Amino acid sequence: MQFIGAALIMLACGMMGLTVARSYVSQAENIKQLITMLQLLETEIGYARTALPEACRRISAQLPGAVDSFLTAVLEHIHAHPGEAFGDGWHAGLGRLGAWGLPAVVLNDLTVLGEALGVSDVEDQRRHLQVTRLRLEDAYRQAEQEWRTNWKLWSYLGFAAGLLILLLIF
């Protein structure tokens, strides 16, 4: 019985540590996906002159996960509120993207981009997309660094904490 209890404590603490460690990985992965989304958006706008809703639909189909969830929310909002600004839909999408544990700086950059999307010529749209992409690349480098620093730490820390609890109990 004692052995089962000890195993459960170790497992629970270990899993908690691994979950925190995993969150660093997924944060970096999600930022990378957003960078890809911006590259695809730039292609759709700059070369194909695709209208934003259609561009969002195409990109959403290519990038599952956070980007799909975000763009689906944008499209749902646009569909449900015809006549509203695209920026309103983008803002609604960011609400859902917030649940994917992205840093506030990334969400802020995307908020600023949403206000500029679709309201000017191709040249200007490209500039906005490129600036946001550069900022997201910075955020990705930082997230990658955090991931490398903290991943191992949290992976072991959970099990170490479990061990400490066992030592204190027994």
Partner 1 sequence: MFQFLAPHLREILERSSPSDWEEVRLRVNQPLVVKGRTGYCFLSPLGRVVPKDEAYRPTPEDLARTVQILTNSSWYAWEDEIRRGYLTIPGGHRVGICGRAVLDGGKVKTVKSVSSLSIRLARAVPGCADSLMPHICPKGREVLSTLVISPPGCGKTTLLRDLARQISQRGFQVVVIDERSEIAACYQGSAQLDVGPQTDVLDGYPKAEGVAVAVRALSPQVVVTDEIGHPDDGAALAELARSGVKVLASCHGDSLAQVKARSWARDSLPVFQLAVVLSRRSGPGTVEQVLSLRSGT
Q: Which residues in this chain contact partner 1 in the complex, by CB under 8 A? A: 45, 49-53, 78, 82-83, 85-86, 117-122, 124-125
Shortest distance, CB of residue 86 to partner 1, whole angstroms? 3
Q: Is 142 exposed, middle or buried (0-12, 13-18, 19+ CB in 10 A)?
A: middle
Shortest distance, CB of residue 23 to partner 1, whole angstroms? 34
Q: What residue spans of the chain are helical by DSSP H?
A: 2-46, 52-62, 66-80, 86-97, 104-116, 122-169
DSSP letters of 60-78?
HHHSTTHHHHHHHHHHHHH
Q: Which of 132, 71, 68, 78 is nearest to 106 (CA)?
A: 132
Shortest distance, CB of residue 24 to partner 1, whole angstroms? 36
Distance CA 152, CA 43 (A): 38
Shortest distance, CB of residue 47 to partner 1, whole angstroms? 11
Q: Are 110 and 83 in contact (CB under 8 A)?
A: no
Q: Are 34 and 67 in contact (CB under 8 A)?
A: yes
Q: Which is nearer to partner 1, 128 or 154 (CB)?
A: 128
Q: Which is nearer to partner 1, 99 or 122 (CB)?
A: 122
Shortest distance, CB of residue 119 to partner 1, whole angstroms? 6
Q: Which is nearer to partner 1, 9 or 85 (CB)?
A: 85
Q: Which is nearer to partner 1, 54 or 164 (CB)?
A: 54
- Amino acid identity of 111? T
Q: Which is nearer to partner 1, 112 or 122 (CB)?
A: 122
